[in-house]
Amino acid sequence: QVQLVESGGGLVQGGDSLRLSCAASGRTFSDYAMGWFRQAPGKEREFVSGISRLGAVTKYADSVKGRFTISRDNAKNAVYLTMSSLKSDDTAVYYCAAARISRAVVTTVVSAYDSWGQGTQVTVSA
pLDDT in tens, 69-80: 999 999 999 999
Specify whether the CB–CB gap between 58 and 113 falls below 8 A: no
pLDDT value of position 105: 87
% of the chain with per-residue pLDDT over 90: 92
d(CA 11, CA 25): 27
| Range scoring the smallest mean pLDDT among 44-48, 74-78, 107-111 | 107-111
Give the number of other CB atoms < 10 A from CB of residue 40.
14
Q: How confident is the model at residue 82 (pLDDT cuts 50, 70, 90)?
A: very high
Q: How confident is the model at residue 1 (pLDDT cuts 50, 70, 90)?
A: confident
β-strand 3-7 against 46-51: which pairing, if any? unpaired
What SS3 class is residue 64? coil
